[in-house]
């Protein structure tokens, strides 16, 4: 029995297999990061640096000291000043640097910027920690009806171009799925300098608390059916873009991983399943993927990758029409 070659290429890097730990609590902790490496992860994305969080914390500290300061003759202030507040990105960057040093697999930084200058400033800072690549975690929730889709796309593209010019390590862009013409938009990102796309970001969605009647932000773990969306879009994009494509969302089982590879993903990224089952579960997935390849008599991942892209699959229209037709037929045929 021949052992299949699991290696793949992503952002110009050769990875030993297509199973990558996505940004999450497990990659942010050095101990669990090592466990992921031991379990066979081929790379890891460190949790995002959130510029908004940094700015928020800094302003909170500022307000904490300035609130009602010098308002009263007897109490010029209410709190002693501290030696330092561990604010800003320093602690994050130092931890990222240590993460990179502590494992031998590639480690990618991740950045969620907020201000125009912040993206570039922090992208450079992350690059200087020695990481192998940078993933931009971009999202913008438009609420103003005057803002057009083109406006938003331009924001993304300008941003990617600016960051691309400021760093020399490979650049991936993690985006959401809600773009009217994703292929066109992906093309623009590629032209702006993105070396790869991560499909897709799962957003923090607010839920309603029925007791307090308030929204509360709550991140729920993905389920395996969510992989359908990246399967489709990777299938569509694979043949049309000369870009690395990473599948993210709903990567829970070996079958899902294989499907994503078939559609054209270079790597698959996972978080939820590892949080549920533990870092060691990655080795099970790896084993299952390997066995599937053996059963399928496939020599390598590279061989498999994109073999069911829109251009390579026997029924490309299925990807275009969505599953509606299929589902409808199935439904009616039951009676």
Check binding of 128 to another protein (CB under 8 A): no
Choose the binding region for another protein from 85-93, 167-175, 194-202, 285-293 (rule: CB under 8 A). Answer: 85-93
State how far the Cα of 19 lies from the Cα of 136, in Å rounded to an integer.
Answer: 20
Closer to another protein by CB, 208 or 327: give it. Answer: 208
Check binding of 209 to another protein (CB under 8 A): no
State how far the Cα of 19 lies from the Cα of 5, in Å rounded to an integer.
Answer: 13
Check binding of 276 to another protein (CB under 8 A): no
State how far the Cα of 274 lies from the Cα of 244, in Å rounded to an integer.
Answer: 23
User: If binding means CB under 8 A, how many residues of this protein chain bind another protein?
Assistant: 35
- Classified as helix, coil or strand, 190 is helix
**How many Å from the N-terminal Cα to the C-terminal Cα in the chain?**
46
Of 223, 198, 185, 201, the C-alpha closest to 108 is: 198
Closer to another protein by CB, 89 or 170: give it. Answer: 89
Check binding of 203 to another protein (CB under 8 A): no
Binding residues for another protein restricted to 147-186, rule: CB under 8 A: none
Residue 210 beta carbon to another protein: minimum distance, rounded to whole angstroms = 11
Check binding of 29 to another protein (CB under 8 A): no
56 contacts 36 by C-beta, under 8 angstroms:
no
Query: In Å, how far are 34, 244, 258, 259, 303 from 306, measured between CA atoms?
Result: 31, 12, 10, 10, 8
Choose the binding region for another protein from 65-73, 182-190, 193-201, 244-252 (rule: CB under 8 A). Answer: 65-73
**Binder among 30, 87, 152, 161 for another protein (CB under 8 A):** 87
Binding site for another protein (CB under 8 A): 54-55, 57-88, 213
């Amino acid at each position: 029995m021949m052992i299949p070659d699991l290696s793949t290429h992503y952002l110009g890097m050769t990875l030993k297999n297509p199973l990558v730990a996505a940004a999450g609590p497990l990659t942010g902790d050095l101990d669990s990061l090592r466990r992921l490496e031991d379990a066979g992860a081929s790379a890891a994305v460190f949790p995002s640096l959130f510029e908004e969080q940094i700015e928020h914390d800094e302003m909170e500290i500022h307000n904490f000291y300035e609130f009602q300061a010098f308002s009263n003759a007897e109490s010029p202030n209410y709190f002693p000043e501290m030696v330092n507040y561990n604010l800003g990105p320093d602690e994050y960057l130092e931890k990222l640097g240590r993460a990179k040093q502590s494992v031998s697999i590639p480690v990618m930084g991740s950045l969620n910027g907020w201000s125009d200058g912040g993206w570039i400033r922090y992208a450079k800072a992350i690059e200087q920690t020695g990481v192998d690549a940078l993933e931009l975690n971009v999202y913008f929730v438009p609420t103003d009806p005057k803002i057009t889709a083109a406006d938003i796309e331009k924001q993304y593209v300008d941003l990617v171009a600016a960051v691309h010019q400021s760093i020399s390590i490979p650049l991936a862009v993690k985006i959401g799925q809600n773009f009217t013409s994703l292929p066109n938009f992906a093309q623009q990102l590629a032209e702006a300098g993105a070396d790869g796309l991560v499909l897709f970001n799962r957003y923090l969605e607010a839920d309603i608390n029925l007791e307090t009647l308030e929204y509360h932000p709550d991140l729920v773990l993905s389920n395996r059916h969510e992989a359908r969306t990246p399967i489709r879009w990777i299938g569509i994009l694979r043949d049309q873009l000369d870009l690395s494509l990473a599948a993210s969302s709903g990567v829970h089982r070996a079958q899902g991983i294989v499907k994503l590879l078939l559609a054209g993903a270079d790597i698959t990224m996972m978080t939820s399943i590892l949080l549920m089952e533990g870092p060691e579960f990655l080795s099970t997935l790896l084993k299952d993927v390997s066995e599937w390849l053996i059963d399928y008599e496939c020599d390598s991942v590279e061989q498999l990758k994109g073999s069911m892209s829109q251009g390579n699959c026997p029924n490309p229209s299925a990807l275009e029409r969505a599953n509606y037709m299929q589902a409808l037929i199935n439904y009616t045929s039951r009676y």
